[in-house]
Amino acid sequence: MTETDLLVIGGGITGQSAALFAAQAGARVTIVDAQRNAGSHANAGSLHVQMQSRFLRLNPHLADNLESSLPLYLSAVTAWEALDTRLGGVELTREGGLMLAEDEAQLDFLRQKAERETRKGLDVEILDRDELFSLAPWLGEAIAGAELCRNEGKLNPLVANRKMRGALGSLGVEHVHDRITRIEEGSPPTAEGEGATYSAGAILVAAAWGAEALAKPLGLTIGTPPEPLHMNITEAGDYRIRHLVQHAERPITLKQFRSGQVVIGGGWDANLASAESRAPTIRRQSLLGNVALASRIAPGIAGLRVLRTWAGYNTPVDGKATIGPVRNGSRVFLALPGDAGYTLGPITGQAAAALSLGTDPPIDPAPYSPARWRS
Amino acid sequence: MTLRFTFDGHEISCDAGASIAAALTAAGHRAFRETDRQARRGIFCGMGVCQDCLVTIDGRPNQRACMTEAREGLTVQTQVARPPLSPPQPRTLTPRRLTPDVLVVGGGAGGLSAAIEAKKAGADVVLLDERKVPGGQYYKQDADPKRPPLDAQQTEGGALVAAARQAGVQILPQTEVWGAFDGPEIMATGPEEVYAIAPEKLIVATGAYERPAMIPGWTLPGVMTVGAAQTLWRSYRTLPGKRVALFGNGPLVAQVALELAEGGADVVTLAEAAPPAWHRLPAALDMSRRDPALSRKGLNMLAKLRRRGIRPVHHALPDRIRQTDAGLEVTYTAAGRSGTVVADAVCLNYGFQPQNEILRLLGTDMTFDSRFDHLRVTRTGTCETTTPGVYAVGDCCGLGGAPAAMVEGRIAGRAAVGAAPVPADTAELARHRAFQTALWRVYAATLPHPESAAPETHICRCEEVTKADLDAALAEDPTDIGALKRATRVGMGRCQGRYCGPAVAGIMARRSGRPLEDLSFFAPRVPVKPVDIAAITAAEALLEGEGD
């Protein structure tokens, strides 16, 4: 029986952020992770704030959830900025995000969206063609305008993950490779793994698509099916694309790392992994469609070749974070970002960790209570 | 016919048919590109996999000099690490969907034989090859068809190519595979077309690439694989340099030393890691019993080298290579004694790695073969893999040599179209395999593990990850090869881990004490080779009407 103050289930950015927060507050922390297909390890580093058109299109019934979460997105970027400083630089930039429109109807959609986002405190503006091209001269001819969200940015997740691991190590956070199969809400709560049973002052579930199976026996019915998403990366070019780029109607994110490589993604689907030991596999439709779309938006990238594709799991849940104890007074806590897990991971993890320690969380957790999942 | 182009403003002239790499080498240019850390790079593999000989051609960046034919009036420039994001001249490729009975990938000994047999049995056969003239690494054909063949090996290859053409095999030259998907479906780019090919049966015959020695200086311009030097000579009649030093393990090294010497090079060192054959008499005798003709050819070769005053140094391994004013200076150890040699070109070959990327993408079963330190494809007696409809022949399945590849090709070509097997093939294949076993017993040598490399040694050429970088990441105890890759960027570059991958897989396996297996290596990923965005854009048209 391993004993610790806080047992974090899941070693992605959410669990790591929770662990970092708790360890800095003096807690003894253990992260237990199954080490299979963590979304954070496949992430491409977008810092999303404005409502993603793709999510709205696929999940019109969850639009209110997403809109009501916008303040959390703003806090998430602040949390990432603090983390950037704490970790000694993760190539984070806050040069804003562009959502492109190709016609008047798309611009109208963006105008309405911008109004709703302004009401939630986002720093957004609609740019006409001339204003847009002075900011982003590498854009393709067909682009008619864009919504600029100044809160958005990007970072290099490879650097962030490596430095996060280093920071946790120097705080004495223990990493255990195991798969947790069941959680008991005793006093103290325990987690049963394939290799051992773990007992802790509190247990924090940051297991993304693995959360559903752990929450069910605790009386919470949360659907966390993984969404396998496709990504592409090119050779390096001169650093010109400063914004995080999306489209009002087509699924795409496009950005350039400081290394010069262009990362193209944005929600094209991949195949679920065929076996636990394997990664999700890619679909040729996604490779062709996603990259062709990117080269129409940014013709300058056509001189770079695509080096690699990969796929990783997003866990959209209901488009809204789940943060807090599984029931009032429970020592088992949930930390699920609910879409855009890498952007929301730090704030979600920190808030859940604060609740588990009994300290004030950095955001009001009430809207994100797990109570909505109690059947 | 002579043609002219410019390289960084200098006029270069060469024969028609020459690759840009050969033309630049003949003109004395060794460095073609700059890395992100301002290092210079040139030809390394000579066969399109290492991606180190990149140049900008007429404004289009990142073109491989070794795979691109020189043309009159080209403007060729040193490739900078981060080219401008300005759209290059549009490249128009016609999308084509092909559904042949049999698709053969690779036009070497195995692929050509397979295609000929399948075609003779009445099937509609398409064969893809990356080179302008097929033949593969063993039969390396001359890029200029008017030049007479160099020797019997080239003549034999020419006859095989002619037989394939005569049989009616549809050969698509200069066509590179970049995608493999379930079905199977193969995506490839040719000079004017992009293809989506969904055959009834797929025969993978992609051969192998060479394993280098990871020592300080192995990335310097002028340091290349033995095969790259051989291609310069056999396909383009260009010497890699005047003074050539060869370091390696296996019969290819001595063969190429002789070829280059006969071509006029000054072979300053021929260093073999194994002891001389007569130290291993039983294996050598076994070898000559299995294939007297081939063994005689080998002895003949050694005699010719001797007559030219080239005596192989045995028990020899290179330690480091430095660029000096006099040339490339190699420090090496031979039978416990150290020596140095200065050359214009240093050629390395320490065995082969199968080009099994397509098969790995298709999920074909493989097992680790510790004798050759690489993956071997699980196959039936007719070369069928565990992936339905997919056959594999030759060195892409694990080292076997060209003669075996040839027979495997015939067997697979017939089996793929349901034609009756020829019993003599089975016996011949057994003989070739027994010969290979004896051959590698003669050449068995203990090669250093990458763990013992000096700290400044590049393990990953592309991302310039050194042994010291790797050690720092290993100290953090990465859980698997993927974690090590994410921590250091090892394997994230243009060659897609072809050189560092096997090295790092071995390091991780020895650390954990676990045996190597397919999952020990980097996860297979599309594209198989870096792919031009223009090819992807053109291929997108093929999706129309698929309804998905």
Q: Collect all residues of chain A within an 8 Å Cβ-Cβ radius of residue B84.
A: 237-238, 300
Residue type, B19: S
In terms of domains, do A146 and A253 share one?
yes
Q: Mutating which of A161, A307, A342 best tests the B interface, going by the most B Cβ atoms within 10 A?
A: A307
Determine the residue of chain A that is closest to B58 in CA distance.
A303
In terms of domains, do A234 and A292 share one?
yes
Residue A179, chain B, CB below 8 Å: the answer is no
In terms of domains, do A255 and A188 share one?
no
The CATH class given to the B2-78 domain equals alpha beta
In terms of domains, do A15 and A132 share one?
no
Instruction: Give yes or no for residue A2 having a pLDDT over 70.
Output: no
**Structural domain includes residue A263:** yes
In terms of domains, do A214 and A336 share one?
yes
Looking at chain B, the domain(s) classified CATH 3.50.50.60 span 94-209+354-416, 216-350
In terms of domains, do A205 and A329 share one?
yes
The per-residue pLDDT for B547 is 52
**Structural domain includes residue A68:** no
Residue A138, chain B, CB below 8 Å: the answer is yes
Helices (H) and strands (E) in chain A, counts: 11, 18
DSSP B81-143: SS----PPSP---EEEEE--SEEEE--SHHHHHHHHHHHHTT--EEEE-SSSS--HHHH---S
Closest approach of chain B CAs to the CA of A23, in angstroms?
19
CB A75 within 8 A of CB A362: yes
In terms of domains, do A240 and A277 share one?
yes
**Structural domain includes residue A89:** no
**Structural domain includes residue A60:** no
Domain with A185, as residue range(s), is 2-41+158-224+318-373
Share of chain A above pLDDT 90, in %: 91
CB A234 within 8 A of CB A243: no
Burial grade of A133 (CB within 10 A; 0-12, 13-18, 19 or more): middle
Determine the residue of chain A that is closest to B83 in CA distance.
A237
The per-residue pLDDT for A35 is 85
Closest approach of chain A CAs to the CA of B525, in angstroms?
6
Do residue A291 and residue B537 have CB atoms under 8 angstroms apart?
A: yes
The tens digit of pLDDT for each residue in A129-152 reads: 999 999 999 999 999 999 999 999
The per-residue pLDDT for A1 is 57
In terms of domains, do A203 and A236 share one?
no
- Rounded Cα distance, B329 and B266, in Å: 15
The tens digit of pLDDT for each residue in A262-296 reads: 999 999 999 998 887 778 999 999 999 999 999 99
- Rounded Cα distance, A22 and B104, in Å: 58
CB B478 within 8 A of CB B512: no
Q: Collect all residues of chain A within an 8 Å Cβ-Cβ radius of residue B82.
A: 236-239, 260
**Structural domain includes residue A56:** no
Which of A314, A344, A361 marks a domain boundary? A314
Paired tokens of B287: 């070898």
Please give chain B's pLDDT, 548 residues, in tens: 899 999 999 999 999 999 999 999 999 999 999 999 999 999 999 999 999 999 999 999 999 999 999 999 999 999 999 999 988 888 899 999 999 999 999 999 999 999 999 999 999 999 999 999 999 999 999 999 899 999 999 999 999 999 999 999 999 999 999 999 999 999 999 999 999 999 999 999 999 999 999 999 999 999 999 999 999 999 999 999 999 999 999 999 999 999 999 999 999 999 999 999 889 999 999 999 999 998 999 999 999 999 999 999 999 999 999 999 999 999 999 999 999 999 999 999 999 999 999 999 999 999 999 888 899 999 999 999 999 999 999 999 999 999 999 999 999 999 999 999 999 999 999 999 999 999 999 999 999 999 999 999 999 999 999 999 999 999 988 888 999 999 999 999 999 999 999 999 999 999 989 899 888 999 899 999 999 999 999 999 998 867 54
Q: Which residue has the tokens 């262009």?
A: A262
**Structural domain includes residue A52:** no
Residue A276, chain B, CB below 8 Å: the answer is no
In terms of domains, do A177 and A306 share one?
no
CB B205 within 8 A of CB B111: yes
Paired tokens of A57: 């299109």
Counted domains in chain A = 2
DSSP A356-375: HHTS--SS--GGG-GGGGB-
CATH number at residue A274: 3.30.9.10
Selecting from A259, A282, A305 the residue whose C-beta is nearest the C-beta of B531 gives A305
Q: Residue A285: name the closest of B362, B187, B194, B93 by CA.
A: B187
**Structural domain includes residue A352:** yes
Determine the residue of chain A that is closest to B79 in CA distance.
A237
In three-state secondary structure terms, A155 is coil
Selecting from A288, A295, A301 the residue whose C-beta is nearest the C-beta of B539 gives A288
Do residue B496 and residue A41 have CB atoms under 8 angstroms apart?
A: no
CATH for the B450-516 domain, from 1.20.120.80, 3.40.50.720, 1.10.10.1100, 3.40.50.800: 1.10.10.1100
The per-residue pLDDT for B477 is 85
- Round to the nearest angstrom and report the end-to-end CA distance of chain B: 51
Q: Mutating which of B533, B542, B543, B548 best tests the A interface, going by the most A Cβ atoms within 10 A?
A: B533
Specify which residues A247 forms β-bridges with. A100
The per-residue pLDDT for B55 is 98
Which of A314, A330, A355 marks a domain boundary? A314
Residue A305, chain B, CB below 8 Å: the answer is yes
Closest approach of chain B CAs to the CA of A375, in angstroms?
36
What average pLDDT does the structure give for chain A? 95
Determine the residue of chain A that is closest to B494 in CA distance.
A307
- Helix, strand, coil percentages (3-state) for chain B, rounded to 5, are 35, 25, 40
CATH for the B216-350 domain, from 3.50.50.60, 3.30.420.40, 3.40.190.10, 3.40.30.10: 3.50.50.60
Paired tokens of B500: 């560092």
- Rounded Cα distance, B362 and A277, in Å: 16
CATH number at residue A328: 3.50.50.60
The CATH class given to the B94-209+354-416 domain equals alpha beta
Determine the residue of chain A that is closest to B180 in CA distance.
A284
Closest approach of chain B CAs to the CA of A339, in angstroms?
23
Query: Kind and range of the H or E element at B259?
Result: helix B251-262
Looking at chain B, the domain(s) classified CATH 1.10.10.1100 span 450-516
In three-state secondary structure terms, B209 is strand
- Rounded Cα distance, B440 and B250, in Å: 8
Average pLDDT value for residue range A151-155: 97
- Rounded Cα distance, B485 and B462, in Å: 13
Helices (H) and strands (E) in chain B, counts: 15, 30
Peptide bond into B450 cis (omega under 30): no
- Rounded Cα distance, A76 and A83, in Å: 10
Q: Looking at chain A from residue 193 to 252, which residues have their Cβ under 8 Å from any Cβ of chain B?
A: 234-241
Half-sphere exposure of A28 (CA within 13 A, CB side): 7
Do residue B536 and residue A287 have CB atoms under 8 angstroms apart?
A: yes
In terms of domains, do A162 and A310 share one?
no
The per-residue pLDDT for B437 is 93
Q: Cα A134 vs. chain centroid, distance in angstroms?
A: 30
In terms of domains, do A237 and A266 share one?
yes
In terms of domains, do A32 and A173 share one?
yes
Instruction: Give yes or no for residue A375 having a pLDDT over 80.
Output: no
The residues, ordered by sequence, that sit 6+ positions from A231 with a Cβ below 8 Å of its Cβ are A42, A44, A263, A264, A265, A309, A310, A311, A312
Residue A308, chain B, CB below 8 Å: the answer is yes
Alpha-helix runs per DSSP H in chain A: 13-24, 39-42, 53-58, 63-68, 70-86, 104-119, 129-135, 157-170, 211-215, 284-297, 341-357
The tens digit of pLDDT for each residue in A315-335 reads: 999 999 999 999 999 999 999
**Structural domain includes residue A347:** yes
Peptide bond into A362 cis (omega under 30): no
- Rounded Cα distance, A265 and A43, in Å: 10
Looking at chain B, the domain(s) classified CATH 3.10.20.440 span 2-78
Closest approach of chain A CAs to the CA of B286, in angstroms?
43
- Round to the nearest angstrom and report the end-to-end CA distance of chain A: 32
Average pLDDT value for residue range A172-179: 95
